[in-house]
Each structure stands twice: as structure tokens, then as C-alpha cells.
Copies of this chain bind each other. A is one copy, B any other.
């Protein structure tokens, strides 16, 4: 398996991201419940990629049990897995609607075709998004990022990390380097982004999350770029917890703070950040790291998985259809209605 997610007949193959970078284990999933469980425990993660996984999960569910009841039950199970990421509900809704429209006899075939379409579109979106982002950040060399937004988070090369990879390809002498926030509690930066940066051949250094603001203030960063889990209609953006703090540090230092994601991450039904539900996850994610207990075993924990960066702190929202800079309500509406623009590279 070369991709982190692959359909193989009646099974969805998923690279178990909870075991990276130590082990590369492939999971074989056959039902919506199995896919929902993999999403919930972050074996597959990244807002766009869980959309693709959920789409395949629902298609597999109705392939084995081709009726409306299975479709609806599977859709509910998948949507409940992670409430903040909008791509998940968007992808599930697309598969569900396509299946229902096709009628009882074609339910399974239509669901599968729609899931494949979502996956293919997502790969094309990654390429287009990377080109738009690299255009916007042309000349920036020292990039700071958080969480994981590469091929492990979205189809193709991902979102924010795809922009960085494209910037690196365009830099003739390897001037592009990355500071990767480790991204506690689940360490997607330390485990996944670093692994992807090694594979991409891009120079990098890992930092504790708390070190980012000081390094930005000391002039060691030219731009910050992050992914997104949900973008409200006004540009307020939910992303991995810690992102908001990076936006404050970027603003204070006068460097660009960029959000990258496919248009499916934009939720026109959410007017602003106040309407975004923030998932609180279990306390053991904070109590432990790499299997080691870090504190008193029963210490009370608050563990919000996301935070909201106000649109006013975002220099640009980069999508496959272009860049909203700044991401005003009007600019975002334009992106949503645009046909995807041709690639610049």
C-alpha cells in the first residue's frame, strides 16, 4: 500500500496512524462501524481524509447490506465519530444522497461511485490547492506548521503540507525548511509530519508547541500555515488545538498566517466561529504520551481537540478554487461559487 487509504474490493485499507512512525500497520475495514471506530480512535485522521474514509465506509456498508435502513444507520454512525470536522458530514451526505437518488436497485453502485468521485476530486483539489498556496507564499522560506496536514491527512499530498511541498519544489536550492509543532496531546506533528517531511526530503526541526510563539517573535519564521477542520461562513476557522495561539504570534510578528483546506471544509451553514462545536476528548490523551504516564494517574483534565481562529487573524484561506486573502464572508462566498481554477503549475 503506497497511500494512507486505499479501497481493495470489499475492504478499505487504512494505514494505522496511531502506530506511526514506529510501525506501519495496515487495517482492513469492512463496515461503517469499523470505519467510524477507526476515525474515532484517530487510526485515520485529517479532516479531508476522514471524509474520504467515511464515504468509503458508507459505500462498503450498503455493498454488503443494500437497503435504505443500512444506509441511514451507517451514515449516523459515521457522522457521530467526530463532530467538529465538517468534511465528514459533507462526504457522508453526498454518498447518502447519491444512493437515495439512484433508487433501491442501484443503491450500492451509486454509493460506491460517489465515494470514488469524492476521493478523486480530493486528490485533484490537493494539487490545485498546493499550487495556489505556493503562489501566495512565493519567496517564503522558513515555514512553521502544526498538526499533520500531509498525505496522511488528505488525499494526494494533503493541504498545508502540500503547499509546503510545492514551495520546496519551486525553491531551486532547497531553501525551504519547516518548524513542526509536536502538537500535543496526540503528537501528530512529532509522529506524522516529521515522518512525511523525511519522505519529502524537506529540512525540518521539531519543536514543543509552546516554543512556537517565541521563535516567531525572534524572527525565525517567515510564515505560518495550518490546515482546518471547519471554516465558518465569515472565515472563522476551527483547527487543531493550538492553532489560534499561532495566529496571535504571527499577527504580533507581522508574518502571514495561512489556512489551507479543500472547499468541502467550508461550512456556509455555520455563520461564525461561535457556532462551531468543539470536541472534548478523553483525559488520558493528556495524561499519557507515547504510552508513558506523565502525571498523577487520576488528575482532572480539560482536553478540547480544537480551537477557533477568528477570521481577522487569518491572512489567507487557500483552497483548490483559489485564495481568499483575507477570508472575508464575500471572498469565501466567491470561492464556494467559483469553478475550480486551472493549476498554475
Q: Tell me the A residues contacting B by CB distance below 8 Å.
A: 21-22, 146, 179, 181-185, 187, 190-191, 194-195, 198, 203-215, 217-218, 240-242, 244-245, 248-249, 252, 278, 283, 286-296, 299-304, 306-308
Instruction: Assess the A204–B292 pair: CB atoms within 8 A.
Output: no
Q: Chain B residue with minimal CB distance to A212?
A: B245
Q: Which of B182, B191, B301 contacts A205 (CB 8 A)?
A: B301
A272: min CB distance to chain B, Å: 13
Instruction: Assess the A210–B211 pair: CB atoms within 8 A.
Output: no
4 nearest CB pairs, A to B: A210-B242, A214-B307, A290-B292, A213-B245
6 contacts between A and B (CB under 8 A): A207-B301, A208-B241, A211-B304, A214-B244, A290-B290, A290-B294
- Chain B residue contacts of A240, Cβ below 8 A: 210
Contact A210 B194, CB 8 Å, known A205-B301, A217-B244, A291-B292: no
Instruction: Assess the A299–B194 pair: CB atoms within 8 A.
Output: yes
Q: Chain B residue with minimal CB distance to A283?
A: B206
Instruction: Assess the A187–B294 pair: CB atoms within 8 A.
Output: yes
Contact A244 B304, CB 8 Å, known A292-B289, A295-B191: no
- In whole angstroms, how far apart are the Cα atoms of A212 and B245 in the complex? 8
A197: min CB distance to chain B, Å: 9
- Chain B residue contacts of A179, Cβ below 8 A: 302
A301: min CB distance to chain B, Å: 5
- Chain B residue contacts of A308, Cβ below 8 A: 214, 217
Q: Which of B184, B241, B244, B301 contacts A184 (CB 8 A)?
A: B184
- In whole angstroms, how far apart are the Cα atoms of A273 and B301 in the complex? 34
Instruction: Assess the A242–B211 pair: CB atoms within 8 A.
Output: yes
Contact A248 B252, CB 8 Å, known A206-B295, A208-B185: yes
Instruction: Assess the A210–B245 pair: CB atoms within 8 A.
Output: yes
Q: Chain B residue with minimal CB distance to A307?
A: B214
Contact A296 B198, CB 8 Å, known A206-B287, A249-B245: yes
Instruction: Assess the B300–A206 pair: CB atoms within 8 A.
Output: yes
Q: Beyond A214-B241, A215-B302, A289-B289: 18 further Cβ-contacts under 8 Å? A: A21-B296, A22-B293, A146-B210, A184-B184, A184-B210, A190-B287, A190-B295, A194-B295, A205-B302, A206-B287, A210-B245, A211-B241, A211-B307, A213-B244, A214-B242, A214-B278, A245-B245, A248-B249
A95: min CB distance to chain B, Å: 32
- Chain B residue contacts of A287, Cβ below 8 A: 190, 206
Most buried by B among A214, A248, A306: A214
Q: Which of B21, B210, B295, B301 contacts A209 (CB 8 A)?
A: B210
- Chain B residue contacts of A288, Cβ below 8 A: 290
- In whole angstroms, how far apart are the Cα atoms of A183 and B17 in the complex? 25
Instruction: Assess the B241–A302 pair: CB atoms within 8 A.
Output: no
A136: min CB distance to chain B, Å: 24
Q: Which of B211, B249, B295 contacts A187 (CB 8 A)?
A: B295
- Chain B residue contacts of A191, Cβ below 8 A: 294-295
